[in-house]
C-alpha cells in the first residue's frame, strides 16, 4: 500500500467520507490518513459514509473526483430541497428518551425512511433510569408488536446492551436533539470527544450539539454515524404507493380498497380505514401516513 491510501482509477485514492461540513468533507483513506476535501465544480451533494475517489491537492488536502455507487442512502426532503444524512449504512438507530419528550410522528417517519431505503431499524429508549421511562417504554410497545426491536438503556450508566445490536454494522443514530445520541457515541467510542450540552428544560428540548454528520469507529468491523438532531423529517421524495408500503402493517391490506387509486385519506371503501376501525392498524400510525400524504399535496 502506498502512503496516503491505495491508488485507484489512475492517480485517485480510495476513501470514505467520515464527516460532512456543508461543502467540505473529511475523507478517511484506506490507511487511516484523513484529508480535508472539497468537490470539483458543482458536483452533487455527498453524504457521510460515501465511498469516493480523491486526488491530492496539497498536504492534508484533496479534491473528491468520483463517487462510488451507494448501497443505501438516508435523506429527508420537502418540496423545495433535500438533506442527505448518511450513505452506505445498514441500520438506522432511532434514539428517543423520556426527557425531553419525543415525538411519535418523527419515529414513524424515521421507520418509514428505513423501510423505503432497505435499512433495518432499531429503537433505543435512552435515559431509562429517569422518571417517566416506564411510560415511554410502554408507548413503544406498538413498535414491538410491528416487529421492530426496542432496547431500553441508560448510556451514562452502561451502553453495553447496545453493542450486540451494532456489531458488524454501519449504524446511523437519528432522533430529536437532547435524546442522548452524542452521549451514546462518547460511550461507544471514547476517543470521539463529542460535545454534550445540557438540556433546556424550559423548552423541553435539547440544544443542537451535533451540527454535522460524523462517522466513528467502534471496532474494526463496527461503525456509527452521529447525525444532527431532527425536528422535522420530510419524505417528499417517496411517492404515495411507496409510502404506504413503508408502513409495514399496511402491507396485508394494500390492493384491497374499492378504488385502485385509493390514497387512504377519505375515499369510501378504503381497506386501511376499515383495518383501523377493527383495530388491525393503529390510528396514530394511519394519521402519520395521512399527514405525510397531505404534505406532498401542499
Domain 7-67 is in which class? Answer: mainly beta
Q: Is 104 exposed, middle or buried (0-12, 13-18, 19+ CB in 10 A)?
A: middle
Taking only Cα atoms into account, the Rg of the chain, rounded to an integer number of angstroms, comes to 21
Domain 73-226 sits in CATH 3.40.50.970: no
Q: Is the pLDDT of residue 193 over 70?
A: no
For residue range 73-97, list pLDDT tens digits in order: 999 998 888 999 999 999 999 999 9
Q: Which three cell numbers stand for residue 168?
A: 458488524
Q: What pLDDT, on a 0 to 100 scale, did the predictor assign at position 204?
A: 46
Q: Is the pLDDT of residue 200 over 50?
A: no
Average pLDDT along the chain: 89
Compute the CA torsion angle 227, 16, 78, 124 (nearest 10 deg).
Answer: -30
Report whether 233 contacts 110 (CB < 8 A): yes
Chain region(s) in the chain for CATH 1.10.40.50:
240-297
Q: Is the pLDDT of residue 210 over 90?
A: no
The predicted model scores a pTM of 0.89
Question: Dmax over Cα atoms in the chain, in whole Å?
Answer: 67
- Reported as a pLDDT band with limits 50, 70 and 90, residue 223 is very high
CATH of domain 240-297: 1.10.40.50
- Reported as a pLDDT band with limits 50, 70 and 90, residue 23 is confident
Chain region(s) in the chain for CATH 3.40.50.300:
73-226
The stretch 233-258 carries a mean pLDDT of 96
- Reported as a pLDDT band with limits 50, 70 and 90, residue 232 is confident
Amino acid at each position: 500500500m502506498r502512503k496516503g491510501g491505495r491508488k485507484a482509477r489512475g492517480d485517485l485514492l480510495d476513501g470514505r467520507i467520515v464527516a460532512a461540513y456543508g461543502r467540505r468533507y473529511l475523507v478517511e483513506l484506506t490507511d487511516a490518513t484523513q484529508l480535508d476535501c472539497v468537490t470539483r465544480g458543482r458536483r452533487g451533494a455527498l453524504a457521510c459514509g460515501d465511498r469516493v475517489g480523491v486526488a491530492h491537492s496539497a498536504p492534508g488536502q484533496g479534491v473528491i473526483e468520483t463517487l462510488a455507487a451507494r448501497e443505501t442512502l438516508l435523506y429527508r426532503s420537502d418540496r423545495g430541497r433535500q438533506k442527505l444524512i448518511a450513505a452506505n449504512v445498514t441500520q438506522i438507530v432511532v434514539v428517543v428518551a423520556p426527557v425531553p419528550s419525543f415525538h411519535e410522528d418523527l419515529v414513524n417517519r424515521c421507520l418509514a425512511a428505513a423501510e423505503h431505503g432497505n435499512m433495518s431499524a432499531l429503537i433505543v429508549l435512552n435515559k431509562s433510569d429517569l422518571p417517566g421511562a416506564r411510560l415511554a417504554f410502554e408507548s413503544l410497545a406498538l413498535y414491538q408488536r410491528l416487529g421492530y426491536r426496542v432496547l431500553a438503556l441508560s448510556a451514562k450508566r452502561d451502553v453495553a446492551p447496545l453493542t450486540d445490536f451494532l456489531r458488524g454494522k454501519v449504524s446511523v443514530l437519528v432522533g430529536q436533539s437532547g435524546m442522548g445520541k452524542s452521549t451514546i457515541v462518547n460511550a461507544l467510542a471514547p476517543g470521539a470527544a463529542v460535545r454534550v450540552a445540557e438540556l433546556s428544560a424550559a423548552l423541553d428540548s435539547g440544544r443542537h450539539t451535533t451540527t454535522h454528520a460524523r462517522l466513528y469507529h467502534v471496532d474494526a468491523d463496527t461503525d456509527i454515524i452521529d447525525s444532527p438532531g431532527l425536528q422535522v423529517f420530510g419524505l417528499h421524495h417517496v411517492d404515495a404507493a411507496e409510502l404506504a408500503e413503508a408502513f409495514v402493517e399496511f402491507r396485508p391490506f394494500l390492493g384491497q380498497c374499492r378504488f385502485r387509486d385509493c390514497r387512504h385519506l377519505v375515499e369510501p371503501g378504503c381497506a386501511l380505514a376499515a383495518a383501523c376501525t377493527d383495530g388491525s392498524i393503529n390510528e396514530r400510525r394511519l394519521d402519520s401516513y395521512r399527514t405525510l400524504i397531505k404534505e406532498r399535496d401542499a
